[in-house]
Amino acid sequence: MARILFLLALALLTGCLANGQATEPTYNYDETKVGTYTLPNPLINNKGKAVKTQAEWRSRRKELIQLFAENVYGQTPKQAVKLRFQTTSVDSSALNGLAIRKLVSIFFVDYPQLLPIEVLLYLPKGRKVIPVFLGLNFCGNHCVTTEADIPLSTRWMGNAIGEVSVNNKATEKARGMQERRWPIETILRRGYALATAYYGDIEPDYPQGWHSGIRSVLGESTAPASDTTKANSWGAIGAWAWGMSRILDYLQTEPSIDAKRVISIGHSRIGKAAVWAGAQDERFAAVIGNESGEGGAALARRWYGETVERINTSFPYWFCGRYKTYNKRVADLPVDQHELLALIAPRPLYIASADGDQWSDPKGEFLGAAYAEPVYKLYGKVGLGTTDGRPQAFPAVNQPIGQTVRYHDRSGKHDVTDYDWEQYLRFADELVR
Ligand code: GTR
């Protein structure tokens, strides 16, 4: 009996430690345990002064970006990087004649040791000046379509993806694996282009991945491998966001693309990057964060689903070192995620959750979007909209709400579905065209 109890205690203890939990859980699914919190006001500047005009917001905006850089994502290097765009293939009759398909390599001229970002671009045939959805993908360009002549990515891939990658390399089985998440033909038929690239081209998603990514040559993380705990060094999310801006640099040179209508889109960890990219880089005309969760749209102070402590434990290399110091004192963070979303204003923003994805905290994502409202108002825009000056009620599933800022809580699991895309296309038709 004593032996059984001992083994049970050991199992519980090691189980907890394996989950990164020392004494208490680092996530919460109990709404009654969320507690109370006070959010920082995006319209009070660092000196405590109220921000009342658009001109004052321009300065406040810079302060907020700096606060997110110093405390959450790390500093994005400001220096310009020389790029060379090389078109490696053009198929003027892709997808059974629906599309022109281009493969373009983005080379880093001054860093020949880095492999290029490989961009896959689908343009609807017969259209000029086309708005575009730009989103990174999780498993290589060969995953988003079954078109057999797209080269299989040779970059590092997570083995967790299953048989589709072996020894951290993609296999032929991966072709089209995430096709369902990228309804390319629908997107093209609606008059949009799609640009995508593997996020691992910018930085492979594992703790030492930065050694072969952009952070090995740019920014503070060129310091020793302990870099991810260095206060301001940028993390992987910052790198992926930076990479999105470099793809936008390329899109600006592509004559058939309407570079003033490039929509930053991303799911989950890539959703965090898509929002941070859109917040910093105002060339993005609109932003879509699909189930971006903790470190994305979800309020950090709302202790629900994944928490700051949990994400910093599981994925320390995604964020800057200082973020970890808030693990047990989230209330001391000088920012919260509604202010990240406010940085998108006055541009259109779509935040989406799924009711089967409580890890991302749907309500926290909704409130993140709702509390960005005052900044949209400063621009004479209605964001998500309010009732008696307060956020409106959390909507029922599959009930999109809002105006310049939109939100839905889809039924189903953590994913990107046709339902999500239908809302994004409608949003783009109404607000980006
Ligand atoms: C989870 C992580 C989330 C989200 C997700 C994903 O493990 O905790 O924040 O990023 O991965 O990217 O699918």
105, 245, 256, 414: which one is catalytic?
414
Residue whose CB lies within 8 A of the most ligand 1 atoms, among 359, 413, 414, for a mutation test: 359
Rounded to a whole number, what is the distance in angstroms from the first to the last CA of the chain? 70
User: For residue 197, what are the β-bridge partners?
Assistant: 136
What's the confidence (pLDDT) of residue 222? 45
Check if 306 has its Cβ closer than 6 Å to any atom of ligand 1.
Answer: yes
What's the confidence (pLDDT) of residue 161? 62
For the question of residue 414 being annotated catalytic, the response is yes
With a CB cutoff of 8 Å and minimum separation 6, the contacts of 328 are: 309
Domains of the chain: residue spans and CATH: 2-431 (3.40.50.1820)
Interval 313-328: pLDDT, tens? 999 999 998 999 999 9
Can you tell me the distance from the alpha carbon of 383 to that of 373, in angstroms, rounded to the nearest whole number?
5
Q: Which atom of ligand 1 is nearest to the CA of 293?
A: 9
Residues of the chain below pLDDT 70: 1-24, 161-162, 221-232
Ligand 1 midpoint to CA 127 (Å): 37
Ligand 1 midpoint to CA 269 (Å): 5
Q: Which atom of ligand 1 is nearest to the CA of 138?
A: 12
Check if 358 has its Cβ closer than 6 Å to any atom of ligand 1.
Answer: no
Can you tell me the distance from the alpha carbon of 112 to that of 224, in angstroms, rounded to the nearest whole number?
21
268, 292, 353, 360: which one is catalytic?
268
What's the confidence (pLDDT) of residue 424? 98
Ligand 1 midpoint to CA 66 (Å): 25
How far is residue 339 CA from its own chain's centroid? 15
Query: Phi and psi (nearest 5°) for 197?
Result: -155, 155
Q: Kindly state the tokens that stand for 364.
A: 């926290």
Q: Which atom of ligand 1 is nearest to the CA of 295?
A: 9
For the question of residue 92 being annotated catalytic, the response is no
Check if 293 has its Cβ closer than 6 Å to any atom of ligand 1.
Answer: yes
